[in-house]
Amino acid sequence: MRSPQTTPLAGLPERVTVYEVGARDGLQNEAVVVPVDVKAELVRRLVTAGLPAVELTSFVSPRWVPQLADAEQLVAAVGGFDGPLLSGVRAPVLVPNERGLERALAVGAREVAVFVSATESFARKNLGRSRREALDTSAAVARGAVAAGLAVRGYVSMCFGDPWEGNVDPAAVVEVVAELLRQGCAEISLGDTIGVATPGQVVDLLDWLDGAGVSRAALAVHFHDTYGQALSNTLVALQQGVTTVDASAGGLGGCPFALSATGNLATEDLVWQLHGLGVSTGVDLPALVATSSWLAGVMGRESPSRAVRALAG
C-alpha cells in the first residue's frame, strides 16, 4: 500500500493525538441499528490499528438515540474497560445527564464526555433545554465524575456557525469553554458541527480563547467536512499549537440534530496528511484503511474517505 512522502512543515507538533469518534459519533447517525458484535469488532480493529483514544458509545436514552441503546452490551463485548483490549487506550463514553453517568460508572468507565452548545438554538433543538440548563446538567455530571475519579472531556458544538442563528460570536464560545473548564473538564473539543468554518475563523477563535487564558493543551478540534474545509482547518489549528484532533474512521457520521451536517473528518485522510508532514500518530494507516473498507462492506456502501477509496482500490 502506498505511503505519503514525508516532507515536514515548520511550526507543527511532533506528535498529534488522533481521537477516534467513529464507534459513537459515526454510528449514532446511521439509519439502522448496527449489531453489537459489529460494533465490538470495529472497536477491536481501531484499537489494534494503534488509535490512542477510541470513544466507545453514549449512555443516552434509547428513545433519543436507538442506535446506541446497546451501550452496556458493547462494553461487555469488548471485555470491559480493564480488559486487555482497552487497558492501554483512552476509551471515553458520552453521558448526557446524571442517569447516563450512573450507567457509565456501573460498567467501570474511566473517562466520560459531556456535550453542550455554544448557541441557544442548538441547545434547544439538540438537548431540549436552554444553554444554561445544559451547562447546569454538564456541571452535575462533571462533578459526579470527578468525585468518582474519572476524567472528563467537554464537547462544545456550533463553535463556528449555527443553522438557525448563522454566525456565532466567538465570545459565546469562550464563555462556554471557560465554564466547562471550571466544571472540571480536562479537555474541550471545539466542534464545527455543520462544517462551515474556514482557516482564518479557526485562528480567530483560538486567539479569543488564548486571550481568555485557555491553554492550547486543553483544546481539541472536531471538524466536519460539509464544505471540504476539515483538513485545512485542522492544519491551521495544529500550527496554532493544538495537538488533539477528533476524526471518524471512514468519515462516518454527522449530527442527526443539525441541518446540513455531513460527515466528520475521515481519520484516514487526517493520518495520511499528518504522516506526510512527518507528524507522529502511532496509527497504522494500512490497518485503519482495511478497517474502514471492512466496515463499508458491512454497511453496504462506499466509504466517503478519499484516502480509503484511493488506498483500498
Catalytically active residues, by annotation: 255
Q: What are phi and psi of 156, to 5 degrees?
A: -115, 115
Q: What is the DSSP letter of 144?
A: H
CB atoms within 10 A of CB 205: 25
Question: In the 8-state DSSP scheme, what is residue 27?
Answer: G
Count of alpha carbons within 13 angstroms of residue 47, beta-carbon side = 22
Distance CA 5, CA 2 (A): 9
Cell numbers linked to 258: 443539525
**Cα–Cα distance, 183 to 174 (Å, whole number):** 14
Residue 90 DSSP class: B
> How many residues in total does the chain contain?
313
